[in-house]
Amino acid sequence: MDEILIFGTLVKELRNQRDLSQEKLAAKTGLDRTFISLIENGKRNPTLLTLLKISGAFGLAPSELMLEFEKRLVEAEEKTPENTPGGKV
């Protein structure tokens, strides 16, 4: 399971739901647009400060962002072969 990619996908989905371009999200967070792209593509592990900036830009409490991330981690874990009936161990 790639936790960093799962988080990046979440950021991209939240950004798209809010009709924000990477440039607009970058402006709201004070982060570089290329850094936003790297996060969304699972190429960078965001720091706590970055998480705070991103959640704020989306109008979410940091805990709300992390709860959604945790839900997605659980869903991904449940889909792994060892957790699927008939899956290999």
Q: Is residue 87 part of a domain?
A: no
The residue range of the domain holding 31 is 3-81
pLDDT-derived band at 79, boundaries 50, 70, 90: confident
Is residue 70 included in any domain, yes or no?
yes
How many distinct structural domains can be found in the chain? Answer: 1
CATH code, domain carrying 14: 1.10.260.40
Residue 86 included in any domain = no
Count of residues in the chain: 89
Question: Mean of the pLDDT values across residues 17-39?
Answer: 99
Whether 88 is in a domain gets the answer no
Give the global pTM: 0.87
pLDDT number for residue 81? 74
Round to whole Å and give the CA distance between 10 and 5: 9
Nearest Cα residue to 39 out of 73, 5, 72: 5
- Confirm if 26 and 88 have CB atoms less than 8 A apart: no
pLDDT at 47 (0 to 100): 98
Is residue 16 assigned to a domain? Answer: yes
* Structural domain includes residue 68: yes
Q: Which one-letter DSSP state was computed for residue 21?
A: -
pLDDT confidence band for 82 (50 / 70 / 90): confident
Residues 34-46 have pLDDT tens digits of 999 999 999 999 9
CB atoms within 10 A of CB 66: 15
